[in-house]
């Protein structure tokens, strides 16, 4: 099976990427030929004998800007007709599971790691297909974001993680956080593994896991639950178990009479 996706990462600091790309699941997937991931030093495409890759900001101001020529030369050397060019920047669309799934359908991603004050605007205008941020905070460069994106997308490629179907559907894609996990020992510092997980009753285990996913999502990420919505039985269980969190979430418990329809109000 040829690799389903290739990543070319353009950076001024390839040494920041080397370790993470060699270790763990990503390293194994590369060695198994399931994905191709290469990093490239943008200085190799610099145009002058000083290997200049940045310059002063037109209009004045502190900080340097990455020059467009080396980035353009690198992208043009690497791209094919199916390439998708991504600039990692805090000004981009925020990466989530849906964005990662979309990117995992591409066959070739070229990732540009910005540095300094940013990259020359002509790079965005002429070369970049999509700008992606990994969250609303600012790092000193796009290298760690490129690694985050690469790992998130590469693990969706066929064969990289055990169960492809489960990987594509997991956690955020179902709109819920993962349920808690336990392994041995059965008791650790006074905390026991819930009995149901030892019961062998697969239906009961599935139900418990689903409910704990709901509970966790309500307590930690109510915004996800709001987006996903709740089935009546899910809502009923959460009201029983977590009334305080549910009233913050919904305002009123379901036992409170809903507003009568407008005609009824007008009649009375």
* 142's tokens: 């796009």
Q: Which stretch binds ligand ADE (CB under 6 A): 99-107, 134-142, 160-168, 206-214?
A: 134-142
Verify binding: residue 135, ligand ADE, rule CB under 6 A: yes
* 87's tokens: 């600039």
Q: Considering only residues 35, 90, 111, 215, which one is a binding residue for ligand ADE as defined by CB under 6 A?
A: 90
Contacts of residue 255, defined as CB under 8 A and 6 or more positions apart, other chains included, come to none
What character string, x for contact with ligand ADE (CB under 6 A) and - otherwise, covers 137-156? xxx-xx--x-----------
Let me know: does 7 contact 147? Beta carbons within 8 Å.
Answer: no
Contacts of residue 106, defined as CB under 8 A and 6 or more positions apart, other chains included, come to 5, 82, 84
Contacts of residue 91, defined as CB under 8 A and 6 or more positions apart, other chains included, come to 131, 133
User: In terms of CB distance, is 150 or 217 closer to ligand ADE?
Assistant: 150
Q: Considering only residues 35, 65, 88, 127, which one is a binding residue for ligand ADE as defined by CB under 6 A?
A: 88
What character string, x for contact with ligand ADE (CB under 6 A) and - otherwise, covers 191-230? ----------------------------------------
93-132: contacts with ligand ADE (CB under 6 A)? 114
Pairing relationship of beta strands 5-11 and 35-41 according to DSSP bridges: parallel
Verify binding: residue 34, ligand ADE, rule CB under 6 A: no
User: How many Å apart are CA 166 and CA 103, to the nearest integer?
Assistant: 18
Residues in contact with ligand ADE by the rule CB under 6 A: 88-90, 114, 133-135, 137-139, 141-142, 145
């Amino acid at each position: 099976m040829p690799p389903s996706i290739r990543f070319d990462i353009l950076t001024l600091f390839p040494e920041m990427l080397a370790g993470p790309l060699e270790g763990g699941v990503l390293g194994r997937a590369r060695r198994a030929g399931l994905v191709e991931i290469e990093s490239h030093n943008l200085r190799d495409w610099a145009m002058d004998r000083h290997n200049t890759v940045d310059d002063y900001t037109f209009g004045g101001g502190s900080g340097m800007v990455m020059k467009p020529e080396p980035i353009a030369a690198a992208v043009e050397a690497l791209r094919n007709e199916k390439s998708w060019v991504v600039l990692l920047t805090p000004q981009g669309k925020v990466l989530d599971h849906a964005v990662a799934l979309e990117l995992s359908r591409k066959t070739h991603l070229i990732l540009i790691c910005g540095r300094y004050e940013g990259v020359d605007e002509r790079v965005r205008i002429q070369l970049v297909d999509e700008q992606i941020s990994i969250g609303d905070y600012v790092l000193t460069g796009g290298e760690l974001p490129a690694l985050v994106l690469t790992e998130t997308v590469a693990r969706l490629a066929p064969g990289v993680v055990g169960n492809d179907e489960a990987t594509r559907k997991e956690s955020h894609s179902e709109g819920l956080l993962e349920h808690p996990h336990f392994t041995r020992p059965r008791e650790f510092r006074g905390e026991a593994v819930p009995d149901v997980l030892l019961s062998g009753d697969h239906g009961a285990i599935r139900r418990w896991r689903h409910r704990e996913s709901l509970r966790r999502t309500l307590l930690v990420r109510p915004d996800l639950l709001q987006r996903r919505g709740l089935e009546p039985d899910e809502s009923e269980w959460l009201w029983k178990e977590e009334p305080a969190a549910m009233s913050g979430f919904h305002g009123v418990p379901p036992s409170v009479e809903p507003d009568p329809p407008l005609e009824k109000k007008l009649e009375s």
